[in-house]
Amino acid sequence: MENVTKALLIAAAVIVVLVIIGLGMYYLNVGRDAMDTSTDTLDSAKVLAMNADLDNYQGMQNGSNVKKLIEIINAHNGKYANEPDFCIFINGSNNVNVTDSGTTNKSVHNYSRGTNDASGVIYNASVINAGNKYRVTFDYTTGGVIVNCRIKKVN
């Protein structure tokens, strides 16, 4: 009888240890998921911060606002010069040719993502007429980062 009682106590102890190990594994996975979620939130916060200055310029804008936008993009590209994936291209259409202002001899019409980068490019805002109206649109990566700015003069 004593042997049966000892065997039952040992079996109960083994079951308790297995339950404790199982709970530990469960909480470890829950913690890992929480960390992954916080990392995604942090990345989302970085994207929001990167786009914050630019999102207000989407849509119909006067020339003065478009000039400010180009200045913001120039500053942004300077800030991310070592990270070309975060640099923003400007593509002009309808008689808007916002070419590089002479530092690199790049023309915005020759850019395509993945083959060239906009780092080091200073866009020339002087071709924008303050009295004209322009339509500004942005292209985004799947992660929500602005990668392209389209400026079209509205007749």
Give 64-119 pLDDT, tens digit per residue. 998 899 889 888 888 877 777 778 888 765 445 554 444 443 333 333 334 345 55
Main-chain dihedrals φ then ψ at residue 135, nearest 5 degrees: -105, 125
Task: Determine the pLDDT at residue 113.
Answer: 39
Give 11-22 pLDDT, tens digit per residue. 999 999 999 999
For tokens 């929001």, name the residue: 48
Q: Could you tell me what percent of the chain has a pLDDT over 70?
A: 72
Distance, in Å, from the CA atom of 107 to the CA atom of 116, rounded to the nearest integer, reads 11
Whole-prediction pTM: 0.60
For tokens 């400010």, name the residue: 68
Distance, in Å, from the CA atom of 113 to the CA atom of 18, rounded to the nearest integer, reads 53
Contact between 69 and 57 (Cβ < 8 Å): yes
Residues in CB range of 97: below 8 A, 6 or more apart: 107, 108, 109, 127
Distance, in Å, from the CA atom of 78 to the CA atom of 76, rounded to the nearest integer, reads 5
